[in-house]
Structure 1
Amino acid sequence: MASIINSTIHIRMPLSKRMLIGAEIALVLITLFLLTVKEPEPAWGKYWMIRPLLAMTMAGAIGGFCNYVIINFRSQMGFTKSAAILLSVIVSILGLFVGFAFGLYGTVLN
């Protein structure tokens, strides 16, 4: 019975919380990557880290939004729960990849 209650609570998680979780995951991933850059090129500018941090955070929040839409409207879309979760994970990973590439283009990915 407890697992049914937990899965119901998980599905009913509000949009804002899902977007914050996605943004947090993305922020941690890009921060870990940016900490590996020892000597940034002077051509990148003094505040070169701002663009990747903002781009990835926004991509993570959008991934959380997509997760909310896919999970909560899966029955109208005709997906089973497992298919909706799988699709949500794939969309989130693709979104993080695009945010990663967009944020680092012109600096590390030059």
Structure 2
Amino acid sequence: MRMLQGAGIAFLLIGLFLLPVDTNPAWPKYWMIRPLIVVPFAGAVGGFFYYKLDHLRVQGGWMRFWAAVLSFFIYVFGLWVGTILGLDGTLWN
């Protein structure tokens, strides 16, 4: 479930980012396919790490706080890398 949530959030973010973009004739015809696949995959990986840190979250106290902070940074880093890989050659030049 966490992987689906992470992928869904990533898909919405990249979709909103790509909506106002005008196509460049130098780009491939279906250039939007790659970012719409790669970025949600990276979000799903971030959701997987969120799930894997659940054992720390149930301990409560500071462990819960640090698990949340670590999960957030892993997710944001994954989205950043996924966005770079997805947009390479088009918007990320």
Cα-to-partner distance string for 1:58-102 (whole Å, 9 max, x where unaligned) = 000000001001123568xxx711101110011000000000111
- After TM superposition, the structure 1 = structure 2 runs for residues 1-110 of structure 1, keeping only pairs within 5 Å, are 17-37=1-21, 39-73=22-56, 80-110=63-93
CA shift for structure 1 position 27 = 0.1
Distance in 2, matches of 1:29 and 1:99, equals 12
For structure 1, which runs of at least 5 residues remain unmatched after alignment?
Answer: 1-16
Equivalent residue of 1:106, what SS?
A: coil
Equivalent residue of 2:90, what SS?
A: coil
| Structure with larger Rg | 1
Hey, which bits of structure 1, 4+ residues long, moved more than 4 A? none
For structure 2, which runs of at least 5 residues remain unmatched after alignment?
Answer: none
TM-score of the pair, normalised by structure 1: 0.77
Alignment check: 8 A CA contact 2:35 2:83 kept: yes
Cα-to-partner distance string for 1:32-79 (whole Å, 9 max, x where unaligned) = 000020x2111211100000011101000000001001123568xxx7
TM-score of the pair, normalised by structure 2: 0.90
Mean Cα deviation higher: 79-88 or 89-98: 79-88
Seq. identity, % = 50
Residue 27 of structure 1 aligns to which amino acid in structure 2? F
